Amino acid sequence: MVEKAILFDATRCTACRGCQVACKQWNELKGEISTFTGTYENPSDLSAETWLKIRFTEKAEDGTFSWLFSRQSCMHCTEAACVDVCPTGALFHNEYGSVSLDKEKCIGCGYCMEFCPFHVPRLDVERFSGAGKMSKCILCTNPGFNRISAGLEPACVKTCPTDALIFGDRDELVAEGRRRVTNLKTPHSRAYPQANLYGETELGGLHVLYVLADSPEVYGLPADPQLPIVNRVRDILNPLRWVVWGGMAGVLLFNLVVARIRQNLAKEE
């Protein structure tokens, strides 16, 4: 199956937040009462009931104020820390290359939430017992109403009035993103010399690509996202534990045999 992706063009986004609403509607997520924190950004963070939101980055330059809008949701990494760390296989790469979640399998451990380089998965958890379920964007691959396999676009893309979000084959979107970045950089009165395409190679290639007007850090994105070191150590540790336990058991068994034989020999004497 050919890899699919979403291309988000920050220079086209007007922050109408239609995508936020469409996401809630399609995925039947509850609305949440939020509080005013001094910004038009709303709600202030992702949650188990909010899988997508538009982030407002405020910028004041040469006495003029402007917003940078960016889409905050699962980036659907190829080298996905969440998939690597999930103990039950509840998180997995689907046939389109994006990261799906089987909620039936989720035990609510929250490791995905703690390892995600973009801090996307959110846990709805009962603190004392630890019982809960994780939630995040699954790129509209919900079992039973999978938009992608039905040949539809994800709900957020479908609703976007400015085509800041487009959906398609990943290869084509990478080419499109590059083309847009080249255009944005072309010197003219409204050029964006810092424009760049984010997600082409990060973490093995993201399935949400960003055309950004400025450097990723300005948007609150990690410039060079990496799989956490602990992921890599655990990959070594998991087989190593059998060496440690097997080695210990082997040494002890050998010791037992030798000690018993020598004790019997001593008794015979």
Q: Contact residues for another protein (CB under 8 A)?
A: 86-90, 102, 104-111, 113-116, 119, 123, 125, 127, 129-132, 228, 230, 233-234, 237-238, 240-241, 244-245, 248-249, 252, 255-256, 258-263, 266
The residues, any chain, with a CB within 8 Å of residue 116's CB and separated by 6 or more, are: 81, 82
Name the residue nearer to another protein (CB basis): 130 or 161: 130
In the complex, the smallest distance separating the C-beta of residue 224 from another protein, rounded to whole angstroms, is 16
Name the residue nearer to another protein (CB basis): 195 or 221: 221
Name the residue nearer to another protein (CB basis): 168 or 228: 228
Residue 258 burial (CB < 10 Å; 0-12/13-18/19+)?
Answer: exposed
**Cα–Cα distance for residue pair 113/85, rounded to 1 Å:** 10
Name the residue nearer to another protein (CB basis): 83 or 164: 83
For residue 43, give the nearest of 23, 20, 59, 66 by alpha carbon. 20
In the complex, the smallest distance separating the C-beta of residue 165 from another protein, rounded to whole angstroms, is 28
In the complex, the smallest distance separating the C-beta of residue 209 from another protein, rounded to whole angstroms, is 24
In the complex, the smallest distance separating the C-beta of residue 54 from another protein, rounded to whole angstroms, is 23
What are the DSSP calls for 162-208, one per residue? TSSEEEEEHHHHHHHHHHHHHHHHS-STT--TT-EEESSSGGG-BSE
**Cα–Cα distance for residue pair 269/181, rounded to 1 Å:** 89
In the complex, the smallest distance separating the C-beta of residue 77 from another protein, rounded to whole angstroms, is 15
Name the residue nearer to another protein (CB basis): 89 or 193: 89
